[in-house]
């Protein structure tokens, strides 16, 4: 399973990454809106985990933008 975590808080991103790795899932990390958008558009992810408050925009805006780009991957908002 491929997971993209878009989270600007390094501590929380690390906790999420470590928790997923315990289940043999190696997620990709992005630190903000622009990096998350770029990764989501070029990657082949099974799920996106988005922080609501991101540098450069909100997780809600990122989700809406990705939907307009026909990225239909399930999203979990934090």
Q: Which domains does the chain have, with CATH numbers?
A: 3-77 (3.40.50.2300)
pLDDT recorded at residue 45: 98
pLDDT recorded at residue 38: 98
pLDDT recorded at residue 64: 98
Distance CA 21, CA 24 (A): 5
Q: What are the per-10-residue average pLDDT scores of the chain (78 residues)?
A: 98 98 97 98 97 96 98 97
The pTM is what?
Answer: 0.95
The answer to whether the CB of 15 falls within 8 A of the CB of 38 is: no
Phi (first) and psi of residue 64, to 5 degrees: -60, -40
pLDDT recorded at residue 41: 98
Distance CA 15, CA 60 (A): 22
The two beta strands, 53-54 and 75-77, are unpaired
pLDDT recorded at residue 42: 97
Residues listed for the chain: 78
């Amino acid at each position: 399973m491929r997971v993209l975590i878009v989270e600007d808080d390094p501590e929380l991103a690390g906790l999420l990454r470590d928790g997923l790795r315990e289940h043999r899932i190696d997620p990709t990390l992005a630190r903000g809106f622009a990096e998350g958008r770029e990764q989501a558009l070029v990657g082949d992810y099974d799920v996106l985990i988005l922080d609501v408050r991101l540098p450069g925009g909100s997780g809600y805006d990122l989700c809406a933008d990705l939907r307009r780009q026909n990225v239909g991957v399930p999203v979990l908002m934090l």
